[in-house]
Amino acid sequence: SYELTQPPSVSVSPGQTARITCSGDALPKKYAYWYQQKSGQAPVLVIYEDSKRPSGIPERFSGSSSGTMATLTISGAQVEDEADYYCYSTDSSGNRPFGGGTKLTVL
């Protein structure tokens, strides 16, 4: 089955840039999506189709993809950005896994 790999945790100080990576063999041909999930809440889509930002998502959230790696970047991370972040994608067989999730700490 298809797997997406994320680092378990990333830690930054407020105002710094946080980068969360997601690796997967099908990413050169398939889009990556990113979700933010705060404790006890449903996930929120923050990036779709590698780099597009839904309305209402702050400009400090951006995405990129190159080769087998997609990256979520939070420029000037704020305390309220502390959450779990999940990448999501698909492969040619129709599998649609989430990455294992990355816990972002901002302190």
Partner 1 sequence: QVQLVQSGAEVKKPGASVKVSCKASGYTFTSYDINWVRQATGQGLEWMGWMNPNSGNTGYAQKFQGRVTMTRNTSISTAYMELSSLRSEDTAVYYCARACYGCYGMDVWGQGTTVTVSS
Q: Assess 7 for contact with partner 1 (CB under 8 A).
A: no
In DSSP terms, 69 is beta-bridged to: 23, 66
**In this complex, which beta carbon is closest to partner 1, that of residue 76 or of residue 100?**
100
Q: Minimal CA–CA distance to 61: which of 48, 71, 46?
A: 46
Q: How far is the CB of 93 from partner 1 (least distance, A)?
A: 9
Site string for partner 1, 83-102 (x = CB under 8 A): -x-x-xxx---xxxxxxxx-
- Among the listed residues 26, 31, 61, 106, the single contact to partner 1 using CB under 8 A: 31
